Amino acid sequence: MSNFYDKVAVLAGDGLAAFTITEVAATLTVATLLIIYYSRLVKKHIIKTKLSPPGPVGLPILGHLLFIKPDFLQYVTKQSQIHGRIIKLQLGRKVYIIVSSPSIAKQILKDHDAIFANRDIPVAAIKGSFGGLDIVWRSNGPELRKLRKLVVREIMSNKGLDACYEFRRREIRQMVKNIHEKIGSPINLSEQIFLTTLSVTISMLWGGSLNGEEAKLGLEFKDRLEEFMKLMGEPNISDIFPMLRPFDLQGIESKAKKHLSWFYGFLESVIKQRMKLGEGPKMGDNKDFLQQLLELNQRGDAKTSLSMMEIKALLLVSRLNFEIR
């Protein structure tokens, strides 16, 4: 028996290859570990498949990317009619669950919203919200609840909105004055309304107005914001295949960084200018959005105050929301 363990021979062609007991044991161990690993992998895949909602058959790696038609809603509607009210689509490495039932959507979005609150943030949105510090993209948790509570209670309340009333009134009166001065001349009403809306937005956010140099900065802010919105809505291969993100194949991340750098400098100058002026532009009890945010920053209490980075993210996303509306 000892001779058997000491010399295990295997014929290989015309020669004789001898293996020691150590080499045989090592080979058997590696083979056993590989079998265990792959059996667990297959078992996990089977369990995952059973728990996942039904859906159309996709391709390896790509999933359903090649099958999605230009009209995504029509494609999803057709697949829901085939596979049911809850279906699964895999786009690259991302899995999407599509719900086409109002009652199920209510359970997800209202009854169990805390469970489904978090989501993957697109690369462009991460850059545009200073790393997800705003209300839209921040992960669900204590910090998000604090931010929502402060913004809703302190700024978006009736008192907070009334504090901006005089700024809105000022810009509307200026528009009426401009139109009155052009009596007898053709007026581009669409352009006039757009400029007034932009001016009202800027006035409410940080008390500025579209006059002189501020007009150029405001218009550049608008143009860059429009470009940034396109980046956020553009399909990005880095979002579908996260492993490719370091390569930034479409250049979306680098473009977002470029815009963010400009936004950062612009908002930094606006905040510094406001802090030098002390209370800033006020008309009685009227305060613009920035002034209210700065007051929250100066409280010094972690539970009821905002950081400067949070203020910048809120200013940027607020301007973005105005733009969308």
Q: What is the CATH number of the domain that holds 201?
A: 1.10.630.10
Contact between residue 206 and residue 274 where contact means Cβ atoms under 8 Å apart: yes
Q: Which two three-digit tokens encode residue 196?
A: 């007034």
Q: Do the domain assignments include residue 31? A: yes
Does residue 16 carry a pLDDT above 60? no
Please indicate, yes or no, whether residues 12 and 104 belong to a single structural domain of this protein: no
Please indicate, yes or no, whether residues 300 and 157 belong to a single structural domain of this protein: yes
| Tally of CA atoms within 13 A in the half-sphere of 256 that contains its CB | 22
Q: Do the domain assignments include residue 280? A: yes
Q: Is 96 helix (H, G, I), strand (E, B) or coil?
A: strand
Q: What is the pLDDT of residue 87?
A: 92
Q: What angle do CA 42, 44, 49 make, to 5 degrees?
A: 95
Contact between residue 167 and residue 204 where contact means Cβ atoms under 8 Å apart: yes
Tally of domains within the chain: 3
For the stretch 161-219, pLDDT in tens is 777 888 888 888 888 888 888 888 888 887 777 778 777 777 777 766 656 566 667 67
What is the separation, in whole angstroms, between the first and last Cα of the chain? 86
Question: CA 269: distance to chain centroid?
Answer: 25
Mean pLDDT, the chain, integer: 76
The DSSP call for residue 88 is E
Q: Do the domain assignments include residue 123? A: no
Rounded to whole angstroms, the Cα distance separating 123 from 153 reads 30
Task: Please name the residue ranges forming H helices in 129-251.
Answer: 142-150, 158-162, 165-181, 189-206, 212-233, 237-240
**pLDDT category of residue 19 using cuts at 50, 70 and 90:** very low
Of 51 and 255, the one with more pLDDT: 255
Please indicate, yes or no, whether residues 150 and 294 belong to a single structural domain of this protein: yes
Does residue 27 carry a pLDDT above 80? no
Q: Where are the beta strands (DSSP E) in 78-127?
A: 86-91, 94-99
Please indicate, yes or no, whether residues 149 and 280 belong to a single structural domain of this protein: yes
- pTM to 2 decimals? 0.66
**pLDDT category of residue 4 using cuts at 50, 70 and 90:** very low
Please indicate, yes or no, whether residues 188 and 318 belong to a single structural domain of this protein: yes
Q: Do the domain assignments include residue 133? A: no
Q: Do the domain assignments include residue 122? A: no
Q: Do the domain assignments include residue 294? A: yes
Rounded to whole angstroms, the Cα distance separating 199 from 319 reads 12
Please indicate, yes or no, whether residues 147 and 249 belong to a single structural domain of this protein: yes
Please indicate, yes or no, whether residues 90 and 47 belong to a single structural domain of this protein: no
Please indicate, yes or no, whether residues 8 and 88 belong to a single structural domain of this protein: no
Please indicate, yes or no, whether residues 149 and 259 belong to a single structural domain of this protein: yes
For the stretch 246-292, pLDDT in tens is 889 899 999 988 888 888 888 888 888 777 765 544 545 567 788 88
Q: Do the domain assignments include residue 136? A: no
The DSSP call for residue 187 is -
Give residue 308's domain range: 142-324
Please indicate, yes or no, whether residues 295 and 189 belong to a single structural domain of this protein: yes
Please indicate, yes or no, whether residues 276 and 307 belong to a single structural domain of this protein: yes
Axis-axis angle for helices 252-276, 289-297 (nearest 10): 80
Please indicate, yes or no, whether residues 153 and 188 belong to a single structural domain of this protein: yes
